[in-house]
Amino acid sequence: MQKQRYPSFRTVLERGDILRAAGAHDALGAVLAQESGFQAVWSSSFEVSAARCLPDASLLTMTEYLEAAAAMQKALSVPVVADCDTGYGNSLNVAHMVHEYERAGITAVCLEDKIFPKMNSFAEAEQQLLPAPAFAHKIETAKNAQSDADFFVIARTEALIAGLPVQEALARCHAYVDAGADAVLIHSKAKTKDQVLEFLEQWDRRRPVVVVPTTYPDWHVDDAAQAGVSVVIYANQGLRATVSSLRHTFRSIYETGNSTALEGSIASVSDVFSLQRLADWQKLEA
Ligand code: SPV
Ligand code: MG
């Protein structure tokens, strides 16, 4: 079998069009996102945790998140953007993380300015931020630790998630760019895109802006591009679809006593074989 080659995240971003990434937690979900046309896959901490029925609260280790991201990247010909939470500790943890992710072939990581251990942005919980200079130092350390100039570090501010004003998010993102961030991610849990739009209107565009429109799902990708967004991450729709689909499927089989009613709507076994690249494997021993 041929070694799978893929462009770096930076290379894909530099093509110029707005880049869409879909969240996943395993290689199968990642490959299905790629099949639909997504130009990158978000290795989501929420999804990777949920896949183990654990909260997205820094419970899994860096090694476990890396293993998930690397398994996705191995199966893909588009780049993974690894959601690395807070960087799993202090600045030295961030340096170690960058070494390990780079060695595993990951070309982009995202770090957020919350305190370790973090809690998922949508959870009913107090969200505590690291002081901006301390997070800027983490970004600087990440950039010092990378060995390939192509490696891409996204600095994510949780200022709006913590209930702080847009001005605070802007000030933080400017500091993170000064520290070397390759892009900034402005996260919001508002029901509309207004806060993010306000951010974009005042952003000086020195670096690309990444958004995650989970709570404001009606923002069309073309309108986001028009507003100055460079990357849109559909972070968890795949996971939520999996939950609904499996629940429906298992209930139906259990309640009807057989699986006939589902046969027309679930994927065929040969469809799964092709996702497994079974034919390529069979050629190996032919
Ligand atoms: C993730 O998908 O893990 C994210 C996005 O970080 S969110 O769940 O909105 O925090
Ligand atoms: Mg996350």
Q: How far apart are CA 200 and CA 97, in angstroms?
A: 30
**So which residues are the catalytic ones?**
56
SS (H, E, C) 173-187: HHHHHHCCCCEEEEC
Model pLDDT, residue 3 = 55
Ligand 1, residues 45, 81, 240: which to mutate, most atoms within 8 A of Cβ?
45
Q: Is 214 in the pocket of ligand 1 (CB under 6 A)?
A: yes
72 contacts 106 by C-beta, under 8 angstroms: no
Give pLDDT tens digits for 197-216. 999 999 998 999 999 999 99
Per-residue pLDDT, 205: 87
Ligand 1 binding pocket mutation candidate from 86, 187, 189, 211 (most atoms within 8 A of CB): 187
In sequence order, what are the residues at sequence separation of 6 or more whose Cβ sits closer than 8 angstroms to the Cβ of residue 171?
132
Residue 55 has pLDDT above 70, yes or no: yes
- For residue range 110-152, list pLDDT tens digits in order: 999 999 999 999 999 999 999 999 999 999 999 999 999 999 9
Domain annotation for the chain: domains and CATH numbers: 9-235 (3.20.20.60), 245-285 (no CATH)
Give the other-Cβ count within 10 Å of 92's Cβ: 12
The pLDDT value recorded for residue 1 is 44
